[in-house]
Chain A
Amino acid sequence: MRRFLVLLPLLLFAGVGVFFAYGLKRDPSNIPSQLINRPLPHFELAAIEGRDEGLASMDFGGEVMLLNVFASWCLSCQIEHPVLMELSRQNAVPIHGLNWKDKPGDGKAWLDRLGNPYTRIGDDWNGRVAIDLGVTGAPETFVIDRNGRVRYKFIGPITPQAWEEELAPLIEELRGQ
């Protein structure tokens, strides 16, 4: 019994240590989305300057699509952009864009300079739709299934590896459903 009592603080420390080690590994910016398995909230956004077609929640459904939140002021979006361009070249999946809180013209200038991977783009100039979607930062990408339901939220820039390992298999699976 005495032996055990002597070891007790060490055991407690080990227990707390394991707990904290687990906590350190978790990404605090990865906030679970409230929209998973629910339909997209209703929205209708005008087109950004220089484009004709805006984006509405009605545009989703029929086939699996991505909704990508981007902004010209967002550095990580610039890192992600070539990956989206490549996906659009391959016709991998339709990608719709939500231009988040850009000044008029900034979104267009950004796309003119880097290329446009999006099928339709909505201008969320005041960020209200982003809040309805529970967006915490850019870029974020929602995977929307054929029934217009949100199935997954990817936080941060999509890397080729993330596409291969996470998104492509999921999209393939959703297409089969």
Chain B
Amino acid sequence: MRTFLLVLALLASSAAFAVEPDEVLDDPALEARARVIDAQLRCVVCQSQSISESNAPLAKDLRLLVRERLVEGDTDQQAIEYIVARYGDYVLLKPRLRSDTVFLWVFPAFILLAGLAAAGVYLRGRPQAPLAPLDDEDEEELRRIMEERG
């Protein structure tokens, strides 16, 4: 039971935010939108984290900027574009589907299909049904060969 509670507590803690109290907007609806945007933007200092998880000062500045844009009436998309215009597609944790990123999106599916095809070819090449038992004639032949060999 204690282990279970510990595991539960650890699982719950993974949703930690770096957002500090002084950043949080008064309007809960806007704050909720800001959190969704934060989670999609890469912290350019510590690149495997989103700005919602990072404690870097630059991540804080970007969170404040996202909130400022939303307060000024930007849509979520406009707020994201505002950051992308400055830091490039690189800040998007989920790359966009474009001609130069098609490979990224299609390759895993391609590998899966290729694997399935290879498995299909292999399975088809194997005998379909178990071999029929030897009939009397075969048994006779087998005995003769074995005897011959001594």
Contacts and interface: CB of A to CB of B under 8 A. Distances in A.
Among the interface residues A29, A128, A131, A132, which one has the most CB atoms of the partner chain B within 10 A? A131
Summarize B's interface: helix, strand, loop or mixed.
Answer: helix
A62 interface: no
A136 B45 contact: yes
Nearest to B60: A127
A31 interface: yes
Nearest to B91: A31
A15 interface: no
B44 A136 contact: yes
Contacts of B88: 31-34, 134
Contacts of A127: 57-58, 61
Contacts of B90: 31-32
A101 B62 CA distance: 14
Contacts of A132: 86
A131 B85 contact: no
Contacts of A50: none
B65 interface: yes
A134 B86 contact: yes
B78 interface: no
A137 interface: yes
A126 to B, nearest CB: 8
Given A34-B85, A34-B86, A137 B45 contact: yes
Chain A interface size band reads 10 to 19
A176 interface: no
A128 to B, nearest CB: 8
A28 interface: yes
B105 interface: no
B75 interface: no
Interface string A1-34: 0000000000000000000000000001101111
Nearest to A135: B58
B85 A28 contact: no
B125 to A, nearest CB: 12
A33 B87 CA distance: 7
17 contacts: A31-B44, A31-B87, A31-B90, A32-B88, A34-B85, A34-B87, A126-B61, A127-B61, A131-B58, A131-B61, A131-B62, A134-B87, A136-B58, A136-B87, A137-B44, A137-B45, A137-B58
Interface of A: 28-29, 31-34, 101, 126-128, 131-134, 136-137
Interface of B: 44-45, 47, 57-58, 61-62, 65, 85-88, 90
